[in-house]
Structures are given as C-alpha cells and as structure tokens.
Amino acid sequence: MPNPWLTVPLADYEGHMRSPKIQQLVPLSKLFTKALACCRPTSVAVLGIAGGNGLDQIDASVTTRVVGLDVSAVYLDAVRQRYPLMRGLQLYHADLAGEALDLEPVQLVHAALIFEHAGTGQCLENALSLVADGGSLSVVLQLPSEIEQGVSPSEFSAIQNLKSHFSLVDRKWFQQILERRNFRIKEQVEYSLPASKGLWMGIFSRE
C-alpha cells in the first residue's frame, strides 16, 4: 500500500498547517527554535523535514551539518530549492517506518509530529540510532483534545488521506519508553492550538 504522504502536495500540507483552524506551522517552527537554543548542536537531523519549516532558524555559526529525511522526494526537492546555500545540508529519501537508517549520528535529532504518522516501531529505532553519545532527541507530540481528535478538516482535502494512518502517542508512555533506553528528559513545554488541541515538546538527553 503506497505511503499516504506521497498523495499530499506540499502546498496542501503547508496550507493546511497554516490555516486559521489549524495554526501549527509557526508553533512547530518556534518549538524547533527552542530545541536548537537548548541544545546548541553542531549537527542536527530533522525527521520528516517536509518543506523545511524552521530551517531558517538554524545558526550556521553553531550548526554546521543539517540532515533532513523524508519519504517524499518531492518535498526534499523543495527543501533544496528553498535552502540552496544552507551550510552542511544533507537530504535523504527514506521511509522512516519501513527501513533502517545507516547514517552518521548527530548531536540533536528533531522529530515533530512524526510518530503519530510513522508509529513507534522502526521509526523510533531510527530516531534513537541517529542520536550521538551525549546528544539529544527533541520530540513534538500532539496532545489529545476532547473536541477533535486526529487530523482536523480543512479546505485542503488531500490531507484527509492521512487520517487513517494517524494515531496519537501518549506522552507519559513515550517518556517511559525513552527512559528505559537511557534517554532522560531535560526540558518540556506545551503549546496551545485551536480546537482545544495542543503540542507538547520533550527534549531528552542520551546518557
């Protein structure tokens, strides 16, 4: 079965994420900025990089290697076009849920709203394998809402192709899983969204 993300044009995804009912694009960029400021990594990997939201917040004098991974080659091409001069940019076409990565680890792995779509099996193994010794993993999860769960409706109908492949991840369970893998939380923050939704970001350090 084809990955549903391959059916969603980047313009539809970004339009959906910045629409008044959703308003997630800017918050996700701000959370990435916070993770960068907290960790000040010389290298960073962004899982599910899409169109590169937040890459403009990277300080090239600090971070000299930027790894982006996505299942969509079209999304990766957009990142290349948008950031042709970004220092140390390395883009990889990869199905994080279906294949094991073999890449040089980085000091910070950023995974925002990835596990809801790709699951916590192979995708999580890939995320952890990318974290260098003493490095960090920043994870953004969508919080549950009593009003509306999962993928919200918008004028961008292609987004609904993702609905059946979306599942919330319990943050307390997730934190316990990472603690068993020797990842300790060092900072966390919540961000409120429309429709009583919210985002939670936890930054974990590898011990």
Show the domain range for 154.
4-206
pLDDT at 148: 54
Give the strand pairing for 106-112 and 131-143: parallel
Task: Please tell me the total count of domains within the chain.
Answer: 1
The tens digit of pLDDT for each residue in 3-16 reads: 899 999 999 999 99
Tens digit of each residue's pLDDT (9 = 90 or more) over 33-51 = 999 999 999 999 999 999 9
pLDDT at 187 over 70: yes
Q: What is the pLDDT of residue 127?
A: 98
Q: Please state, rounded to an integer, the average pLDDT across all residues of the chain.
A: 93
Q: In CATH, what number is assigned to the domain containing residue 16?
A: 3.40.50.150
Which tens digit of pLDDT belongs to each residue from 51-85?
999 999 999 999 999 999 999 999 999 999 999 99
What is the pLDDT, as a whole number, of residue 35? 98
The contacts found for 87-93 with CB under 8 angstroms, 24 or more apart, are: 87/60, 87/63, 88/43, 88/63, 88/64, 90/65, 90/66, 91/49, 91/67, 92/67, 92/68, 93/69
* Res 21: pLDDT: 86
Average pLDDT (133-149) is 86
Residue 159 binned pLDDT confidence (cut-offs 50, 70, 90): confident
